Structure 1
Amino acid sequence: MTWEEMFPLLMESTGQTVQMVLWSTLFTVILGLPLGVALVATDRGGLLPSPALNRVLGLIVNIGRSLPFIVLMIAILPLTRLIVGTTIGTIASVVPLTLGAAPFFARLVETALREVGRDKVQAAQAMGAGRVTIVGKVLLPEAMPGLVAGLTVTVVALISYSAMAGAIGGGGLGDLAIRYGYQRFETTLMIVTVVVLVVVVQLVQTLGDTVARRLARN
């Protein structure tokens, strides 16, 4: 396969991967951030202590994190079809990507929030701040460098997951590597696909690290 033949395929597949990762990142934050906050808030000594609810949330998160992504993706095919009307293609891959990454991100959110000094929360409480105010104006802003670092790790994981989504017709670079690189023995295309994935991951990691460092200095 010549470069003129490979380039359009690479551009299309890279665009599909970016689309999958961006949408799944958005929904992962929407689901994972509140879940991580709830894990901290309902723990003993939290803003809204509830050991029973905390155990339930922790169990849900642990189950979600323990399932290999390829197994999760196949197991929720009926749910994917129910939500988007199909089980193949770029949009369909967003559903398992989100459900696979949200529990992972929730734990990273929990870890970042626990690093916020207890004295800052107590000071806010002493001034009469409510729970929502403490979360929105103390916990989240103070934990922002850790949250950005956690989101960066999650996005990198999503890029890896998106490559696996190609195994069942999810599109993207993983699908390109399987259909052309592996099944058609296009070794050059396989190598180029791997290089593109490495470059994308490196760009994401560098951007995330830079933002997290700047936030930590403020």
Structure 2
Amino acid sequence: MLRFLSFKKWVILFSILLLPYLLVQIIEKATHNIFNLGYFEQEVMLQDESGVYIQAIDSVKVRPFKFINQDGEYVSSNDLMGYNYIVNFFFTSCPTICPTTTLNLIELQNKINQFDIKNFKIISISVDPDNDTPQKLTEYANSMEIDLSNWELLTGSKDEIYNLAQSGFLLAVGEDDLAPGGIFHSSSITIIDQKGYFRTGLDKKKNKKMVYDGTLYSDIKLLVGEIQRLSITDYQDNYEITKQ
């Protein structure tokens, strides 16, 4: 009888000591699944060691770009390495979707700043670069009361911008006399991580979401959450590297 009671005490003691460890493992696994954003992927042909080409799935990186911001300074995709950022295309004389998107992005920026997330930027690229000079971009920023501390308004070569939008971001853009302001373009916003990869989030039904509609406040709210998740994932990754 005494032996049985002693055995029970050891079992209880062992369970008490083991329980915290199990809880930590469960929480770490759960948060890993919750916080990780997906990657935008495409089929590619890779060459193996024997020289044979095989079909594979690879994550997509943003195409290199280099444009001029509102201060007349060059900003490139290389300069943005180390930052998580979102990209949208706009133009200052756009009478429809751009003002709404800009106001929504201001709201997003305010939320992100409240969370004290440092490695984040908003990149807005003009699809009317012939008219949107750095001075015009500055005037637009002032009129919309944009905080430029972590927001870049970019302009540059029309051919390069259109090629980036169409081929790099798979977004429609072009001149059209029937379109508001004479240019049709997408209101989509895309997430790019600090290593230059396109990232995907989740919609309300937990389906993969490639882009976010800048005119929809519901999408902006989702986007705020995705940026938070990406920031937390960066912290976890850096913590793991530090431990090693």
The structure carrying a bigger helix percent of its residues is 1
Normalization by structure 2: what TM-score? 0.24
Normalization by structure 1: what TM-score? 0.27
Q: Flag the structure with larger Rg.
A: 2
